[in-house]
Structure 1
Amino acid sequence: MAIERETELYAPIKAHFTRLGYEVKAEVRGCDLVALRPADSKLVIVEMKKTFTLPLLLQGLERQRTGAEVWLAVERNRTKKGAHNQRFHELSSLCGRLKLGFMTVTFYKTKAPVIEIWRQPREGAAAPEPAVPINAEELRIAELPPEDGYTLKEGGRTRRGAKKLLQEFEARSGDYNVGGSSKRKLVTAYRERSIQCALALECGGPMSPKQVRDLTGIPNAASLLRDNYYGWFRRLQRGVYALTNEGSSGLAQFPEVTRTWAARFEWAAGRASGSEEHERSELR
């Protein structure tokens, strides 16, 4: 079954790396999928396209500058026999020479997607024949045994761009995007911090930057309010900011992020309220 958009590749590939113990997030600094394994700090980047193209190959080579393990992923469409982008053994050999991993995803109408690992991201590593599927209810994966890849521990194989990639990855509270997305607003770490500030102002009314910082825990809350990149904040007077109509709309536009932080703020507010009540009882 042919897919319509490359975003459809994201869910099965994310599930694959999640099963291997990775934390996965989409659209991190332009990468379709970034996975980080907490156990050993191993970093993986996956670039996805419906078909294998030269831009995809060049994109993979560019991502290698980060020092991460880089994979290319495309759909395996069973109806396109003989097409140049279906010559997977030759494409696998090419990826092997360039030290890129290569995987395909096959979709079915009534079955779960199947991921096939054609090449590990190391030179000359050929994949075995596809394994027997696990079961019909799970993603079925044919893969090589895990190989040690690049890690980004201090003093390791850190390369240009790796620090910023990890900072953006770790600054996000969850995976709110879909890999391969285009022409849609992404939830970046900066946008998430702006949502936190907007939520604080919506819940507590006009506040000073210090009050917003204390509630959200964002060290640079003052600069976010002052720069007002999205037009969500307005200055009422010196040292006091309020939420604009655009800010309220922004919260509604990203409901999943808003719900996540609203629950955390509610917990923090309850904790603060309990602390104040304890202090009053001590005085009595």
Structure 2
Amino acid sequence: MKEADLYPPVKAFLEQQGYEVKAEIGAADVMAIRGDEPPLIVELKTALNLTLILQGVARQSLFQDVYLAVPQPPKWTHRYRDLTALLRRLGLGLLTVKAGAVEAHLDPAPYQPRPNSARAGRMLREFQRRVGDPNTGGTTGVKRMTAYRQDALRLAAHLATQGPTSPAACAAATGVARAAAILRADHYGWFDHPARGLYALSPAGQQALTAAPAA
């Protein structure tokens, strides 16, 4: 589908809503006006990409209501969903065209984010609990050192020297307040449970200590 193929269905779609529509007005692919309302701009492209988004942002310096129009993708991949989220942040609208029909996915509107206080709280707690700065920013495909892992390593180091120990004793000796929960969950497979109320270091835990000593 060519960009020019998008124009007839987009024009018809807008005219059905009472707009007078004209193409190639100045820098805009499509300009539409309805009564005394502010003009509406539509930029046409064969794919939703950064070039089109930048064009839309540029048109916002002229008029507030700007749509981007693209062919309907075969399926909404993660990339398209991410780009749609970006359009919402930028206040750009999105139209898609399929078999001559136009669907409006987003209308131009000021972005009003919904704070994710639960996720923000988890990040703040992780920052506060993590000791030092053991990771390198910008890396991919490497195991991250989290505050939880640091606490588990402290418990593993204590059990390596003390042998089977109760969760309360581990917590007191290491300062890991959530020792009981970590030992009970055994998320990494580092701990054995040889007797009621006692935990010991497993072979996997010993290997983990050798690879990454506790902080």
**TM-score, normalising length: structure 1:** 0.37
Q: Tell me which structure has the larger Cα radius of gyration.
A: 2
